[in-house]
Amino acid sequence: MGIKTYRPMTPSRRYYMVDTFDDITRDKPHESLLRPLPKSGGRNNTGRKTNKWIGGGEKQQYRVIDFLRDKTGIQGRVVSIEYDPNRTPRIALVCYVDGEYRYILSSQGLKVGDTVCAGSGLPIRDGNAMPLSEVPVGVEVHNLQLYPRSRSFLVRSAGTAAQLLNKEEDMAVIKLPSGEIRRFHLACMATVGRLSCPEHKDISIGKAGRSRHMGIRPVSRAVAMNPIDHPMGGGEGKSSGGRHPCSERGIPAKGYKTRNRKKKSSRMIVQRRRK
């Protein structure tokens, strides 16, 4: 992946950056792995608008990603590296020996023709998924399961990776991209390697119209609203109404802790993420 910039022929072009898509090998997705993806417009199941800043955007189709990696012991070959509009890293189309096609998250070193597999007794190679008990200490992993035999929920953004620090009895100590250090069961699956597109964080959207294409509506500052619209609204001039920073529903911001202390998974945290 590379980043392309433009000559500032217009004010919006000055900060406009796009992906070069030079690592994409196929334009059209695999038909059998597509699902419809309707737009919500920021509305819930009763039709009421619960998020003001969602609306519009280009039509998209959902690519079914194999987050479970439960096809163990069967080798697959990477057929293509594709773009997914629903996530930041690239996805890889894998054709297994039995003829089944699946999408997986593409790691940084994965390319067309490589073989990937999931299970035990595999080499430490980009794209291979295995239990944490088989991953050596110090190796970077992604697509990490929170609990054994569940979908992978952690480390799925572009350019991210978690590092295995230590193994203690039946638990593994892992440092996440946020800086949080927590324990995972050794039976949890993870994929070896760092995810693709590390330059994604450096791309500048450049103009408001591009945000509208992404389904993001304009966001008004709270202090610019009226008192009926926001707790921080109203007042003469640039005053904030004498209220501490808070959300539209009055939940304080700037350091107010919202995490549930009784959450079951909190006991797995060894060290909190950096502030």
From CA 12, how far away is CA 105, in angstroms rounded? 33
3-state secondary structure of 216: strand
Q: Can you give the pLDDT at residue 49?
A: 93
User: Which stretches in the chain have pLDDT values below 50?
Assistant: none
CATH number of 228-275: 4.10.950.10
pLDDT tens-place string over residues 79-118: 999 999 999 999 999 999 999 999 999 999 899 999 999 9
Q: What is this structure's pTM?
A: 0.90
From CA 65, how far away is CA 86, in angstroms rounded? 11
CATH number of 3-201: 2.40.50.140
Q: Can you give the pLDDT at residue 241?
A: 59
Strands (E) located in 128-250: 129-131, 140-142, 144-145, 152-154, 162-168, 171-175, 181-185, 189-192
Q: Can you give the pLDDT at residue 255?
A: 86
143, burial (CB in 10 Å: exposed 0-12, middle 13-18, buried 19+):
buried
Which two structure tokens, joined as six digits, stand for 88? Answer: 């930041």
Q: Can you give the pLDDT at residue 259?
A: 83
The residue extents of the domains of the chain are 3-201, 228-275
